[in-house]
Structure 1
Amino acid sequence: MQFPHGVRGFGGACPPPKHGVHRYQFTVHALSRELDIPENASAALGGYLVKANSLGSSTIEALYKRD
């Protein structure tokens, strides 16, 4: 699998040059317990476990563009 930044994980907000404004949403969850998610788990499983164990959450939105 090819990753945009060469490694697995979030590489930062960086839309392509001259591609206009991109919207990024960042959500933080307060969890009821530490989650033991396998390293090779799918995003769907990770998302399910986070939502199933979330006590609350907050989202911020940021706009980025490159000239």
Structure 2
Amino acid sequence: MADEIRAEMVANVWKVVKAAGDEVAEGDTLVILESMKMEIPVVAESDGTITELAVAEGDVVQEGDLIAIVE
């Protein structure tokens, strides 16, 4: 089953840590968002492989926007 990881707030994509095709473990940081000078890590919710990474560094995400899919 695929996990869709979505933004929880409006933020800038400060750093992309993982790429599509990378294997991840639950809790691994995928990207780091920046909002109001705070860094917010977005982590994998389960073990798997990133099948889609929908953001790039410098993007602005809105609440609910897709960040990644982990299968």
Q: Do both proteins adopt the same fold according to a TM-score greater than 0.5, normalized to the shorter chain?
A: no
Bigger radius of gyration: 1
TM normalised by structure 1 equals 0.28
More helix by share: 1
Greater RCO, CA 8 A, separation 6+: 1
Give TM-score scaled by structure 2 length.
Answer: 0.28
Q: Say which structure is richer in strand.
A: 2
